[in-house]
Amino acid sequence: MSLLISDILDEIFQHLTALKNPFNYHSSEVYDNLYSCILVNKQWCDIAIPHLWRRPFSSVHSYAQYKILMIYLSLLDKSKQEKIKIELGHKFSYICTPTYNYASFIRHLDYAELISAIRSFYFISTKNNKTFFKEEIIFMLSDLVRELFVKSGSRLISLRVMLRDCSKWFAGFDDPAFRSWISGIHNLYIVGLSEETCHILQILTDDCKFLMNLSISVWNFETDKNSQILEDYVVDFLNSQQNLKILSIYDCDGFTRLIIPSLKSFSCSLERLSLEYVDFSGCTNWDSINTFNKLNTLTISYCYNLPQKMVRTLLDCRFPKLQRVNLQEDSNSYIYPKELLDWAFSINIMHARFKHLKKIENTDLRVW
């Protein structure tokens, strides 16, 4: 009976912390509710704590980043702890052995959030005025925390990386243990691209074969003087994904012409396609979209330079499972052809009527 109650509690907490988009943030109210749960009794505490630590570096926890890092570092062995104290000038003390193996609870890692938390920890520990810091210490701390996550037995689900950042931040990505750790992720968010981080994209291509949710945000992609190098890596990465269910493209300029032809790679699996603030310049067709037999939601928001030929292709498609088309425009910059708006309206109305009839049918059956 106790086991059953634990399972039910875990399901409830999962429901409380569930997000439609794994890259969104929880509200502080969600965490407040979970904090209240850990005060009920030990059983509730044991079940709620892992949910609170699934995304430890979230901006919701920004006020507590120092304490969070301190808890993680307290899980390291004594030799590594002493090394950190020496590097930071013996200006802090470790917490007693933590109650839980907190590192094993992480499920969602935003690499930029991790680096931000480490920097905050460094500045507070050294009482630095933020005008100068030793970069090598930041790298050392990030390596230790990353190694802690890998060795803890945690199972990572989501990863967000800003590939326009300095390649030094990603030095540990080459570690075989880390590559194995990220190989099972289902959700990946890539922000920016640069030539010096192309090797990271290659690692993601080689190791992340089970993605179900991919978000890409790249602006001014073509400003890179060696864009051809990036193009090859991007195309290889997209073509390596065969099981993608959700694809979201944000803020893409000059990058779209590479993504659109690669849509065919996941035509048999894609269920949701979202295009927001996308410049379609350079795109000529997306004929492969006609093969998206599982597509149920299509979003086109504030996109521009959408060729008439691509509009015509979309209108001629027969999506057997399409239920919702979301179009967003404004009167100044983002205006869609009337025929596209009419098509979206007809799809939405048709599905709304179907749901209404289904509801009436189910009601009649219950009455009968």
The verdict on residue 318 lying in a domain is: yes
pLDDT of 342 strictly over 70: yes
DSSP labels, 66-106: HHHHHHHHTTS-HHHHHHHHHHTTS---PPSSPSS-GGGG-
Q: Which of 114-128, 146-160, 224-238, 301-315 has the lowest mean pLDDT?
A: 224-238
Same domain membership, residue 83 and residue 68: yes
The verdict on residue 7 lying in a domain is: yes
Cα–Cα distance, 120 to 62 (Å, whole number) = 9
Same domain membership, residue 32 and residue 61: no
Residues, the chain: 368
Output 362 or 136, whichever has higher pLDDT: 136
- Element of type H or E holding 278: strand 272-278
Q: Count of domains in the chain?
A: 3
Same domain membership, residue 352 and residue 280: yes
The verdict on residue 109 lying in a domain is: yes
Residue where a domain terminates, one of 126, 155, 184: 155
Same domain membership, residue 11 and residue 108: no
Same domain membership, residue 41 and residue 98: no
The verdict on residue 199 lying in a domain is: no
Same domain membership, residue 143 and residue 35: no
Mean pLDDT of 266-295: 87
Domain with 72, as residue range(s), is 55-155
The verdict on residue 304 lying in a domain is: yes
Same domain membership, residue 44 and residue 63: no
Same domain membership, residue 250 and residue 358: yes
Cα–Cα distance, 303 to 273 (Å, whole number) = 13
Query: 294-334, pLDDT tens digit by residue?
Result: 999 999 998 888 888 888 988 888 889 999 999 887 766 66
Output 26 or 47, whichever has higher pLDDT: 47
Give pTM, 2 decimals: 0.84
Same domain membership, residue 340 and residue 298: yes
Same domain membership, residue 314 and residue 270: yes
Same domain membership, residue 108 and residue 30: no
